[in-house]
Structure 1
Amino acid sequence: GPEVAGATYSALDGDVNPLRLLAALRGAVTALGGRIETGARVNRVSPVSGGGFDLALDGGGMRRAGRVVLCAGLGSAKLAEQLGFHTRVRPQRGEMLITEKIRDRLPVLSSTIRQVNEGGIQIGGTKADAGFDDHESLQIMSDLARHAVAVFPALADLRVVRAWGSLRVMTPDGYPVYARAPEHPGAFLVTCHSGVTLAPMHATALADWIEGKAEAPDLEMFDDTRFALSDAA
Structure 2
Amino acid sequence: MPKRHSLDAVIIGAGVVGAACAYYAARSGLSVAVVDRGPVAGGTTGAGEGNLLVSDKGAGPELDLALLSTRLWRELSGALPPDMEYEPKGGLVVAPDETTLKALRVFAEGQRAAGVTATEVPGDALADVEPHLSPAMAGAFHYPEDAQVQPARAAARLLAAASCATHLGEEVTEILRTPTGAVRGLRTPRRELLAPAVVNAAGTWGGRIADLAGSHLPVLPRRGFVLVTEPLPRVVRHKVYAADYVADVASDSAALQSSAVVEGTPAGPVLIGATRERVGFDRSLSLEALRRLAAQAAALFPVLADVDVLRTYHGFRPYLPDHLPAIGADPRVPGLYHACGHEGAGIGLAPATGVLVTAALTGAAPPLDPTPFRPDRDFEGSPS
Q: TM-score, normalised by structure 1?
A: 0.87
Aligned to 1:21: 154
Distance in 2, Cα, partners of 1:208 & 1:106: 39
Distance in 1, Cα, partners of 2:302 & 2:239: 15
Aligned to 2:175: 45
Aligned to 1:172: 321
What amino acid does structure 2 have at the position aligned with 1:94? G
Distance in 2, Cα, partners of 1:93 & 1:211: 35
Matched, 1:6 2:139: yes
Q: Deviation digits for residues 148-183 of structure 1, max 9, x if unmatched?
A: 111111222311000122111001222111242325
Q: Which runs of 4+ in 1 moved over 4 A?
A: 49-52, 228-231
Q: Provide the secondary structure at the position in 1 that maps to 2:360.
A: helix
The structure that is helix-richer by fraction is 2
Distance in 1, Cα, partners of 2:356 & 2:137: 39
Aligned to 2:273: 124
What amino acid does structure 1 have at the position aligned with 2:360? W
Cα contact 2:273–2:293 (8 A) shared by 1: yes
Query: For structure 1, which runs of at least 5 residues remain unmatched after alignment?
Result: none
Distance in 2, Cα, partners of 1:229 & 1:100: 44
Q: Please state how far the C-alpha of 1:93 moved relative to its aligned partner.
A: 0.5
Aligned to 2:82: none
What amino acid does structure 2 have at the position aligned with 1:166? G
**Structure 2 matches for 1:154-193, cutoff 5 A?**
154-191=303-340, 192-193=342-343
What amino acid does structure 2 have at the position aligned with 1:96? V
Cα contact 2:185–2:197 (8 A) shared by 1: no
Q: Please state how far the C-alpha of 1:115 moved relative to its aligned partner.
A: 0.5
Q: Provide the secondary structure at the position in 2 that maps to 1:173.
A: coil
Distance in 1, Cα, partners of 2:366 & 2:143: 33
Distance in 2, Cα, partners of 1:90 & 1:179: 19
What amino acid does structure 2 have at the position aligned with 1:203? G
Q: TM-score, normalised by structure 2?
A: 0.54
Q: Provide the secondary structure at the position in 1 that maps to 2:316.
A: strand
Cα contact 1:206–1:219 (8 A) shared by 2: no
Q: Provide the secondary structure at the position in 1 that maps to 2:137.
A: coil
Equivalent of residue 215 in structure 2, options 65, 68, 85: 85
Q: Please state how far the C-alpha of 1:229 moved relative to its aligned partner.
A: 6.2
Q: Please state how far the C-alpha of 1:130 moved relative to its aligned partner.
A: 1.2
Identity, % of aligned positions: 29
Q: Please state how far the C-alpha of 1:85 moved relative to its aligned partner.
A: 2.6
Aligned to 2:197: 67
Question: What root-mean-square deviation, in Å, do the aligned CA atoms of Structure 1 and Structure 2 show?
Answer: 2.3
> RCO greater where, 1 or 2, for CA within 8 Å and sep 6 or more?
2
Cα contact 1:84–1:181 (8 A) shared by 2: no
Matched, 1:55 2:186: yes
Cα contact 2:330–2:375 (8 A) shared by 1: no
Query: For structure 2, which runs of at least 5 residues remain unmatched after alignment?
Result: 1-133, 242-260
